[in-house]
Homo-oligomer: A and B are copies of this chain.
């Protein structure tokens, strides 16, 4: 065995368990429940799942269930689907092929909130977890496992699974060790308060404990880290972000937010980048981030001193950012922490920290209900992920969307959303590039007037007013005309535009 591998498997007895991905993948039997985690671009044990997919390509006939709080790599959420091995997928996903097959009813997909996976595993409500497979940077002297750039539901998986496969990625810097903070709550009736009080608190240990006898194999992989760089910020995202940060400014001036705001969710992509950018140029200092995936922008703002602490479940870092982090783990580890999904997304923790929840919507209706998952009510795009826990338990729950899409053919403000992921009971503020509607304390009719006035695109305002006034005349606390509630969507299906 090479010295470099020995350096990664510090607990000598486990070195005997090193095997090839192909050998490891043989452990999988038909009908198994497999827990794994990662991000779409990094952190997944792809050698293992690549070898598993090969068994399917070679004509073996079996099916597995994959449980994960995270959107997984193309190898798992794409390839396994393509070769027909995936029976059921629990929780978050963002893969077009998986979505397509779920929409056909070919893959059983259950869009549970991301943080529910470890909860349900610990309760045992979905049957036992046969196998956990995770990517790691090292096995410590004590036989503990240090994950790579994602924690997700891995800690619970390793504790509760019957069998464990570890995939050590030699291209993930071993120096990441120290960045993780692992804490698994006890189950009721023995659960104690989660002792996390501040974003920068460390409440657990920097590794995942696993019983050595459960480890059935260790794969050595050299998969490249290939997280994309930051998305360029477009004008639409910039306009939405400006409205959001102006709102923070107003709230702080009225004494409804502290001077350094409260920990906020940050998204990936152009909109997430735009918000970080606006905050960077704002008067706010000593910011804190409490979110799911953190990208390079967060690291930059930690470096510049704008962000004083950030925690999340995983990193969406480029190779450069990852190396910078690895070289300075001792310095970063008090400011940048990776935790289990059920701690980051814990209702208890989100409520206590007072997180400002920033989530995106596919569409919102005039009364403030939000669809963030199903186009046209039927076809799923991505899972709701952590938006459920953040919006329900945050200090402020903000939903953002461009007011129109498809060159104006689709309005994001509609009379009634045909799928509700977030109800009127948890949506405080809606933001588009047109403006911002603060809905707190309003009744449904007031909400409708504010949303149409502030957020709808001018092209759709007359149609929305028509619907609202006609419904209002018929009466009701939240006036609707059931025969016309989906008129926008039906028109779109017929004429390819929601416009008349």
Q: How far is the CA of A422 from the CA of B419 in the complex (A)?
A: 12
Indicate if A76 sits at the interface (CB-CB under 8 A).
no
Indicate if A247 sits at the interface (CB-CB under 8 A).
no
Contact of A111 among B102, B109, B374, B424 (CB under 8 A): B424
Given known pairs A120-B440, A193-B197, the reply for A378 and B105 (CB within 8 Å) is no
Q: How far is the CA of A393 from the CA of B342 in the complex (A)?
A: 12
Contact of A189 among B112, B262, B380, B478 (CB under 8 A): B262
Indicate if A7 sits at the interface (CB-CB under 8 A).
no
Check if A490 sits within 8 Å of B482, measured CB to CB.
yes
Indicate if A459 sits at the interface (CB-CB under 8 A).
no
CB nearest to A380 among chain B residues: B477
Check if B418 sits within 8 Å of A425, measured CB to CB.
no
Check if B256 sits within 8 Å of A477, measured CB to CB.
no
Indicate if A125 sits at the interface (CB-CB under 8 A).
yes
What chain B residues lie within 8 Å of A120 (beta carbons)?
Answer: 440-441
Most chain B CB neighbours (cut-off 10 Å) among A124, A347, A354: A347
A26 to chain B, nearest CB (A): 27
* Interface hits, A111-143 → B, CB 8 Å: 111-113, 120, 123-126
A15 to chain B, nearest CB (A): 36
CB nearest to A486 among chain B residues: B482
What chain B residues lie within 8 Å of A418 (beta carbons)?
Answer: 416, 480, 482, 485
* Interface hits, A239-266 → B, CB 8 Å: 254-256, 258, 262
Check if A425 sits within 8 Å of B478, measured CB to CB.
no
Copies in the complex: 2
Check if A479 sits within 8 Å of B378, measured CB to CB.
yes
A302 to chain B, nearest CB (A): 18
What chain B residues lie within 8 Å of A108 (beta carbons)?
Answer: 442-443, 446
Indicate if A41 sits at the interface (CB-CB under 8 A).
no
Check if B478 sits within 8 Å of A482, measured CB to CB.
no
A422 to chain B, nearest CB (A): 8
Given known pairs A425-B421, A486-B485, the reply for A441 and B110 (CB within 8 Å) is yes
Contact stretch, chosen from A55-63, A275-283, A331-339, A467-475: A467-475
A256 to chain B, nearest CB (A): 6
Indicate if A54 sits at the interface (CB-CB under 8 A).
no
Check if A443 sits within 8 Å of B109, measured CB to CB.
yes
Q: How far is the CA of A108 from the CA of B445 in the complex (A)?
A: 9
Check if B395 sits within 8 Å of A188, measured CB to CB.
yes
Contact of A476 among B88, B113, B379, B474 (CB under 8 A): B379
Q: How far is the CA of A453 from the CA of B351 in the complex (A)?
A: 39
Most chain B CB neighbours (cut-off 10 Å) among A380, A392, A418, A443: A443
What chain B residues lie within 8 Å of A393 (beta carbons)?
Answer: 347
Check if A126 sits within 8 Å of B441, measured CB to CB.
yes
Q: How far is the CA of A308 from the CA of B378 in the complex (A)?
A: 47
A453 to chain B, nearest CB (A): 17
What chain B residues lie within 8 Å of A189 (beta carbons)?
Answer: 198, 258, 262, 353-354
Check if A445 sits within 8 Å of B188, measured CB to CB.
no
Check if B392 sits within 8 Å of A392, measured CB to CB.
yes
A188 to chain B, nearest CB (A): 3
Indicate if A384 sits at the interface (CB-CB under 8 A).
yes
Given known pairs A477-B379, A489-B482, the reply for A442 and B110 (CB within 8 Å) is yes
Indicate if A405 sits at the interface (CB-CB under 8 A).
no
Indicate if A90 sits at the interface (CB-CB under 8 A).
yes
CB nearest to A197 among chain B residues: B192
What chain B residues lie within 8 Å of A426 (beta carbons)?
Answer: 388
A-B pairs with beta carbons under 8 Å apart, 15 shown: A99-B477, A105-B472, A108-B443, A110-B442, A188-B395, A189-B354, A191-B351, A191-B354, A193-B195, A348-B348, A377-B476, A378-B475, A378-B480, A384-B425, A419-B478
Other CB < 8 Å A-B pairs besides A191-B351, A378-B476, 8 of them?
A108-B446, A113-B425, A191-B354, A193-B195, A193-B352, A348-B348, A374-B476, A483-B486
Q: Which 6 A-B pairs have the closest CB atoms?
A: A188-B354, A378-B476, A193-B193, A347-B347, A348-B348, A420-B420
